[in-house]
Structure 1
């Protein structure tokens, strides 16, 4: 998001809350994560990596972190969540009141894709469901949880769900059923679970809107930069137009092109004879002569070029009773 990994925003929020020790659950992408995060010192943290054989659920993550966590209170922060304003106030509230567990909730349009909380008239949590077909409320669990060591008993007491996972919602429900003190905070600020391209582009847009204009790289006299544009040192803009908010990474060259609002282009990319808007381009990628691209996520070391000129044609495999409309 704005040329910084979503995970980094979470680690910065954790450090700002006064937490220094982080146990990071890693799986198949462990090597890549360790390369990016290192020992955590760049964030003011001490990171310990805890391997998980396969994704067996959030409660399983707590289970395998038992030795690391000891008898300490802890925050569980899902690495693909983005919360504006951080978690400092939440952590301070938890430290002051110290319930057995505290969860974050936010209202969503379609709660069926989330863990969902049911509250009584006084606001007390009375039930949790994981991705229910018929949600009892529109209050979705945000991916930040605060626990005392009592949660360890709960994760050992539950059975895998129909998905074959140990669900953290089931563990928290076990606490509720055991009359533990489970509290909730409903947040009204910006939150996104960046689990799909649409959400990633939306978070990228929001982050870019908060950036200030900064031109540390080079833009020739034939180029134009308008609004909140960040051109990082070592980047070059040649005969191009950049309309912010947008960020151009170090070592990237934009030539004979247009980069529109809400676009982040990472380091060492090449954009030539193309138009790009409301998109994310990761490092070491090139886009050459492809006209207009929008609402797109382009990964690392990607090459986008025009297709060879061939006669126009359509190819179909159509089932019985199909109806097809074609725009020539």
Structure 2
């Protein structure tokens, strides 16, 4: 089994947090989004992951090393491919054409999920979906009375289905997928100005490939600041039985309310952290109450009351706040 993860997007909706860190490396409960995604896919696959291929932009060598380590953490080989232009989902996946062979899971790195099933790899194709109230921002599928997918519609202007594609796909034959992606690109088949994966899926369906819907128990969006903070809270609830506080945390007249994640060498002084807070390594928090927030590494926060907020690496804040989005290395005094 191989996992293909397109993640070359600029993450504009998550700025300023993506100005120096790619969105998939923003932490959720102490681990990068893409790390959580790879681990969760590996759990439901039910067989060995041979390779994890990441399609990225110009993210730098340190990021590439981190991604390789993420692949190795699930016992797989890590591969790096590049998407130089934002030409759509089909183009992004095709950039990893050398890795498209055998059984393949394609997962876009701005979503997490929870599921209580093992992937049935005997099926030709599975598209994981979730019911949504407003399907317009998503690709959606239509089903027949046999529970087979009959249509793929990209961001419908009028209602056709409320089953949104969450961005995770299984293909029994990666070579077949590669051929269809190449066909879409070679024949300049575009939808809304880009080469869309749904165009390749439609071609495959018309040639007799049967796609079934795979339904998850929860779909966790990481598209913008508010949704990422919410996902962090929900994920902490999922893993609350794990030990989420590092042994090197220094507590001085402070309390950690679970579920919360507190990383290595964090110093808490006269503070209350949690519930639903994630505090990155090396951060110092003083005279502060903080809950339902994400703080990355080596931040300094003093004299504050904080909720529904995100702080980047080495950010500093002194004062009071209720709802913030503070980027890497910003200083607010």
Q: Report the TM range for the smaller structure's normalisation.
A: 0.7 to 0.9
**Moved >4 Å (runs of 4+):** none
1:6 to 27, 33, 41: 33
2:145 to 118, 121, 127: 121
1:145 to 166, 169, 175: 169
**Aligned twin of 1:321:** none
**Aligned twin of 2:281:** 267
| Contact 2:300 2:315 (C-alpha < 8 Å) held by counterparts | yes
Matched, 1:179 2:203: no
| Contact 1:280 1:297 (C-alpha < 8 Å) held by counterparts | yes
**Aligned twin of 1:55:** 86
1:207 to 232, 235, 244: 235
Give TM-score scaled by structure 2 length: 0.78
**Aligned twin of 2:73:** 42
**Aligned twin of 2:110:** 80
**Aligned twin of 2:54:** 24
| Contact 2:135 2:163 (C-alpha < 8 Å) held by counterparts | yes
Per-residue CA shift, 1:123-156, capped at 9, x if unaligned? 2212111122223111011211122222223222
Matched, 1:133 2:187: no
Instruction: Give me the whole-angstrom Cα distance separating, in 2, the residues matched to 1:171 and 1:262.
Output: 40
| Contact 1:252 1:270 (C-alpha < 8 Å) held by counterparts | yes
| Contact 2:68 2:79 (C-alpha < 8 Å) held by counterparts | no
Distance 1:134 1:258, change over 3 A: same
**Aligned twin of 1:66:** 97
Instruction: Give me the whole-angstrom Cα distance separating, in 2, the residues matched to 1:282 and 1:253.
Output: 14
Instruction: Give me the whole-angstrom Cα distance separating, in 1, the residues matched to 2:95 and 2:183.
Output: 14
Q: Alignment partner of 1:144: what SS?
A: strand
How far is the alpha carbon of 1:30 from its aligned partner? 4.7
Q: Alignment partner of 1:254: what SS?
A: strand
Instruction: Give me the whole-angstrom Cα distance separating, in 2, the residues matched to 1:104 and 1:213.
Output: 27
State the structure with more CA Rg.
1
1:278 to 284, 292, 302: 292
The two structures, once aligned, show a CA RMSD in angstroms of 2.1
Instruction: Give me the whole-angstrom Cα distance separating, in 1, the residues matched to 2:255 and 2:294.
Output: 17
Give TM-score scaled by structure 1 length: 0.80
Distance 1:197 1:32, change over 3 A: farther
How far is the alpha carbon of 1:304 from its aligned partner? 0.9
Aligned residues: 283
Q: Alignment partner of 1:33: what SS?
A: helix
Stretches of structure 2 that go unaligned for 5 or more consecutive residues are 1-27, 321-333
Larger RCO (CA under 8 A, 6+ residues apart): 2
How far is the alpha carbon of 1:85 from its aligned partner? 3.4
Distance 1:213 1:79, change over 3 A: closer
